[in-house]
Amino acid sequence: MHFLLPLFFLGTSLAQDPSSLTDVPERFRSNDLSASSHAIGEVCYGRLILPSGATCNPAALSEVEEPTFFASGAVQNGNDAYAMANDFIFQKIDSDAISKLFTSKRTQSYRGQVGLMATVRNFQASFEPYRVQFASQFDNPNYPAVALHASSERNLSFSGGTSLSLLHRHLQFISVGVKASWIERQFIHQKFTLTEAVLTPLDSLIPIESQKGVLVDASVMVIPPFFKPIALSFAVTHIGQLKPYSIYYYQPTDLALGLSFSNELTLGKVNFSVDIRDFLYANQIASVLYAGASYQIGIVEIMGGWNKNAATLGAQIGFRSVFIALAYDTYQSDLMETTANDRLSMEIRISI
């Protein structure tokens, strides 16, 4: 257990809804845990350049104007939730650590990400040695039960994108790109009652699984020459598979669409973006939609976003080589009884 440095637990009510334990919480599938990305609804293909200066859509690398090199750290909440995780990470697990899951406040949450990013025109490289999401939740005090989910990831990605003007000058409004990511993941998916926690050996109670592999995304972007504020993108995502197979993190090859509108105003710049992602196997339209908007004036950018997990407001301010971003979830769909700390994200980026 000690080598599982970032740890994520999610507890739900077993007695009231056992079926809720069959899936990993949707927030585990977030592409980017940074506050600036979260503030625009985690839009990827509908936003050419993210507020951080990086790009999620590899085809949009042809639009990068200035090189960006930065180290970043992002966190949502922390405090008690992170301290609880440390009890499981750095110390020998005992009955006292297990009992905290049943005696702490009903909901605890934590999201954290540390990374390095280098972006230049046509190329981007990133390394995330630390990527963690954490939440704990239990219900039904008359029959105490907890479900645990834990995920620790490391991610190394390389992206390349270029305009088709290399083939013909009349194709300069079309760009293509590819992103390849090496992912290592360790995770826990378990459920137990307080009685089982007392009677079951801890190694059997909380087994750890792992998987690794390469996933590839390929995208095409079109910026109509007759209306350049608009950009349209199409992508094939999750090409490949992490092994060994796990139903909890099953992400089949799928499709994504993105729409971006960006325009310079007399004072500032506005951006509206929409993604439709992973829709081939979706059951509801709302589950595939991601939307974000921002207004930038000088060193300040005001942002708003929505997806199936949360509605978010945020702001970013930059001072020379230091950028600070904040995001606040006005609504969360997958956590109950959250406090303000559980909803506030903060990100610091330092240009190198």
- For residue range 26-37, list pLDDT tens digits in order: 677 777 778 899
Specify the pLDDT at position 6. Answer: 35
Query: Mean pLDDT across the stretch 71-83?
Result: 76
Could you tell me the pLDDT band of residue 265, with boundaries at 50, 70 and 90? very high
Specify the pLDDT at position 80. Answer: 63
Per residue in 271-327, pLDDT (tens digit) is 999 999 999 988 888 889 999 999 999 999 999 999 988 899 999 999 878 999 999
Could you tell me the pLDDT band of residue 23, with boundaries at 50, 70 and 90? low
Specify the pLDDT at position 123. Answer: 97
Map out the domains of the chain as residue ranges.
Answer: 18-351
| Chain mean pLDDT for the chain | 83
- Distance between CA atoms of 140 and 128, rounded to whole angstroms? 38
Asked if pLDDT for residue 216 goes beyond 60, the answer is: yes
In the structure encoding, which two tokens stand for residue 327, read together? 């995001």
Specify the pLDDT at position 91. Answer: 59
Positive/negative CA dihedral, 342, 345, 348, 349: positive
CATH topology assigned to domain 18-351: Porin (2.40.160)
Give the residue with greater pLDDT, 143 vs 40: 40
Could you tell me the pLDDT band of residue 86, with boundaries at 50, 70 and 90? low
Specify the pLDDT at position 24. Answer: 64
What Rg value do the Cα atoms of the chain yield, rounded? 21
Angle between helices 95-103 and 79-89 in degrees, nearest 10: 160
Q: Closest Cα to residue 190, out of 315, 8, 55, 5?
A: 8
Query: Mean pLDDT across the stretch 320-342?
Result: 77
Q: Closest Cα to residue 63, out of 43, 49, 52, 44?
A: 49
Give the residue with greater pLDDT, 10 vs 57: 57
SS3 content of the chain, % helix, strand, coil (to 5): 20, 50, 30
Specify the pLDDT at position 3. Answer: 35
Kindly give the pairing relationship between strand 107-120 and strand 123-139: antiparallel
Specify the pLDDT at position 119. Answer: 96
Q: Which of 54-68, 127-141, 295-309 has the lowest mean pLDDT?
A: 127-141
Beta strands in the chain (DSSP E): 68-77, 107-120, 123-139, 145-163, 174-193, 209-222, 230-240, 254-264, 269-277, 289-297, 300-307, 310-319, 322-332, 344-351
Q: Closest Cα to residue 36, out of 113, 110, 108?
A: 113
Give the residue with greater pLDDT, 29 vs 201: 201
Specify the pLDDT at position 234. Answer: 97
Give the residue with greater pLDDT, 321 vs 94: 321
In the structure encoding, which two tokens stand for residue 65, read together? 């104007």
> Which residues does residue 150 pair with via DSSP β-bridges, in sequence order?
188
Coil, strand, or helix at residue 243? strand
Could you tell me the pLDDT band of residue 53, with boundaries at 50, 70 and 90? confident
In the structure encoding, which two tokens stand for residue 51, read together? 């507020």
pLDDT-above-90 percentage for the chain: 47
8 A C-beta contact, residue 304 and residue 39: yes
Highest mean pLDDT out of 64-78, 228-242, 332-346? 228-242
Query: Mean pLDDT across the stretch 233-245?
Result: 94
Asked if pLDDT for residue 244 goes beyond 90, the answer is: yes
Phi, psi at residue 114, to the nearest 5°? -125, 135
> Which residues does residue 97 pair with via DSSP β-bridges, in sequence order?
none
Query: Tokens 């971006």, residue?
Result: 260
Asked if pLDDT for residue 106 goes beyond 60, the answer is: yes
Q: Closest Cα to residue 215, out of 233, 242, 255?
A: 242
